[in-house]
Amino acid sequence: MRIDKRSPVGITPDRSRPLLEVENLRVTFGGSSIGTRRTRVLAVDGVSLSLDSGETLGLAGESGSGKSTLGYAILGHYPCETGSVAFDGEDITHAGTCK
C-alpha cells in the first residue's frame, strides 16, 4: 500500500499485484479411527486462485467438495498443510491458525 492524499482514507492499494492470492493450498483433517488406524481426510488439494480489487469469486460444487473449507482456510480458521495465502502482497498463511 502507499499513501495517497487524493484517497478519502489516505491509502490506495498497490494495483501491481492481486489483492488475494492463494497458491497450492492443501487442507487435511485427522479423520476418524478405523480399528487401530487413523484415516486422514483430504479436504482441499492444490487450489490456486487470485483476485484483483473489485473482483468477485463464486465457488460451485457438490456438498462436501471443500468450498467452505477453502474459505475457512483462506481466513485462517482451518490449518493449511501446504500452500500460501497472501492478502495485498502480505503473506497471511500463518496469521490465524494455519501453520
Residue 89 or 13, more confident: 89
Q: Reduced to 3 states, what is the DSSP secondary structure of residue 97?
A: coil
Mean predicted lDDT score pLDDT of the chain: 83
Angle (CA) 80-30-83 rounded to 5° is 15
> Can you give the pLDDT at residue 94?
82
> Can you give the pLDDT at residue 45?
95
All structural domains of the chain with their residue ranges: 19-53+61-99
Mean pLDDT of 44-53: 95
Distance of CA 35 to the CA centre of its chain: 34
pLDDT tens, residue by residue, 9-39:
555 555 678 999 999 999 999 866 666 677 8
